[in-house]
Structure 1
Amino acid sequence: MTTVRTAKKLLLGREIANMMKATDTTQVEVAKFMETSPSRVNGLLAGQNSISVGDVERLARHLGFTEEKYLETLREMRRDNHKRGYWNTGYRRAYSEEMRLRVDVEKHADRIREFEVEIMPGLLQCESYVRALYADLPDQNGLTLEDQVQARVTRQDIYEKDGPPRVHFVLSESCLRRVWGDKAVMREQFAYLLRLSQREHVMVQVLPFDAPVGRRTPIGNRFTLLRIPSPGAAGPLELAYTEGEGEFRYLDDKKAVDAYDNAWTRLTTAALSFEESRKFLRKVGREFA
């Protein structure tokens, strides 16, 4: 059975870890009770392995968590958290294994903060810009250009749902000046970006080339910070997402997340204000007229 990491599996694993910490229970002890291996338990805590609804309730009761309201919270975290087969039909096949978790987390997040260089963030790309990005890629594994475009654009459905997340972007000026497609595509992209920046839950700041930045401001390291609210006792899940050549990392270690949070503070301080950023976007956009 293919292992699919999802937001709900991450939340459930974290909740189980919280119960273990509260009762001073080790992975070895949990493994013995569940009649499985410690490595299997470790995968469960990391959101990589699944557990049945009955087993998660049985484990909670064993650890002393018997309140019915809390048990229902655990059952809700477990329901449909595996999404078996969900990613194997239609345009969803275009998401790589690494991107599947990112897309699922975006759908559950209540706050997304992203710093980007060289290319517009996927959550800010208009359709023609996406089409220009994928135009030179050959069809592969039955995936067409339309599949790739729809997979990217559909991520922005999060803006339309009830209670949309608060999304905040800091864009290096290099994002604005790197041309994809032609001038018509770039004009459309700037108009789209400006419209999005006017939404109540969308915030866009620009970091110009001539903005003075501190020595420790990470102007070359693109990253995303995501927060997933949790109905459980463990509180919201904070993740830092980084991406390199052939490498995708999700960090939930508090020390690592705090380091990226500090980096975010430096970037937002160095960037233009929201209104100054919109003026800057209009200025650069006119250059493509």
Structure 2
Amino acid sequence: MAKVTPTAKKLLLGREIAYLRDRAGLSQSEAAALIEKRQSQFTALESGQASITPGDLRLLLDGLGVTEEQHISALLELRRGNHQRGRWTGIRSLYNEDFRTLVDLEEHCDLIRTVECEVPPGLLQCEAFTRALYSYAHTGPDLDDRVQARLARQAIYHKADPPQAAFVISESALRRQYGPPEVMREQIDYMIGLSTLPNVRLQVLPFKTRVQSASIRDGFVLLRIPSPGVAGPLEFAYTENEAELRYLDDKRTVAILDTAWARLAGAALSFEDSRGFLRAVADEYC
């Protein structure tokens, strides 16, 4: 069976259905019976791994006691736009299956918070730096396409309703040389430029600053996706290492990382002081 990449809209619809089912006091098997599906199929629906027809969605919502037409229309719209067909073509096809969920979530977020230690986050990377980062494994047109695929993610900054994007990055990410000095300076200048956008907040955590959280060492991303329903926003934590990418929606885990974010942001330099720090490091690459 082919692996399904959950889209943000599928995840939102699944969460809304799970919330409404719980509110109605029904088990998954009982709710599945409303639309003549197996429990396993319903579980896949709630986890964003399966779709539902408009007729079945209306039938399910009726069985769950949802009668407000505006609410029903909002969920039908989620269903209508949650398919993947045609989404991962061209340079977007270069995102691996596991990473596609993050790209889709970023496009629907109203808030993205990132902690990074060793490398500037992808959403802050300039073309020259990304090229230097990928050149060890790719060449020619393949390298060009991969660079453009990464840069394409930054289009979210300039869409009609852009997310708030906040970053705490360690000084190490500024000093670890992934390219020659001129590339590193260009990368830092690029981050300074992005930090002036009204929806981007960038803070630096210097080496000399004492922190009471090990999270700066590992890094993570917190994502919030608003919902048109009544279940509230989706909140995810994203982590990665050489072996795996993980999407965590467990409330306790998200809360722990939310607390870690608050501590690190509180310890980091202010926005203006961070820009000053970035300029000073950039000058060292002259």
TM-score strictly above 0.5: yes
Shift in Å, 1:84: 2.1
Aligned to 1:175: 173
Question: In the TM superposition, what whole-angstrom CA distance separates every residue of 1:160-214 from its partner, at most 9, and x where no partner exists?
Answer: 1012111000001110001122111111111111011111110000011110112
Match of 2:237 among 237, 240, 244: 240
Shift in Å, 1:85: 3.6
Q: Is the 8 A contact 2:34 2:59 kept in 1?
A: no
Question: In the TM superposition, what whole-angstrom CA distance separates every residue of 1:12-56 from its partner, at most 9, and x where no partner exists?
Answer: 000001110110111011222222221221111111111112211
Question: In the TM superposition, what whole-angstrom CA distance separates every residue of 1:136-162 from its partner, at most 9, and x where no partner exists?
Answer: 21369xx71111011100000001101
Are 1:253 and 2:237 matched, yes or no?
no
Q: Is the 8 A contact 1:5 1:82 kept in 2?
A: no
Are 1:50 and 2:51 matched, yes or no?
yes
Shift in Å, 1:116: 0.4
Are 1:136 and 2:136 matched, yes or no?
yes
Partner of 2:218, secondary structure, is: coil
Aligned to 1:24: 25
1-structure distance, mates of 2:233, 2:146 = 32
Map of 1:62-77 to 2, 5 A cutoff?
A: 62-77=63-78
Match of 2:265 among 260, 265, 268: 268
Q: Which amino acid aligns with 1:259?
A: I
Q: Which amino acid aligns with 2:72?
A: L
2-structure distance, mates of 1:32, 1:62 = 10
Aligned to 1:190: 188
Partner of 1:86, secondary structure, is: coil
Name structure 1 gaps, 5 residues minimum.
Answer: none
Over aligned residue pairs, what C-alpha RMSD do you find?
1.5
Which aligned segments of 4 or more residues in structure 1 are displaced greater than 6 angstroms? none
Match of 1:207 among 202, 205, 220: 205
Evaluate the alpha carbon distance shift between residue 139 and residue 55 of structure 1 in structure 2; reply closer, same or farther with a 3 A threshold: farther
Shift in Å, 1:240: 0.7
Q: Which amino acid aligns with 2:192?
A: L
Partner of 1:285, secondary structure, is: helix
Shift in Å, 1:219: 2.4
Partner of 2:75, secondary structure, is: helix
Evaluate the alpha carbon distance shift between residue 2 and residue 218 of structure 1 in structure 2; reply closer, same or farther with a 3 A threshold: closer
2-structure distance, mates of 1:139, 1:278 = 34
Name structure 2 gaps, 5 residues minimum.
Answer: none
Q: Which amino acid aligns with 1:205?
A: Q
Q: Structure 2 length normalisation: TM-score? A: 0.96
Question: In the TM superposition, what whole-angstrom CA distance separates every residue of 1:66-92 from its partner, at most 9, and x where no partner exists?
Answer: 2211110110110120212421x2111
Q: Structure 1 length normalisation: TM-score? A: 0.95
2-structure distance, mates of 1:2, 1:237 = 22
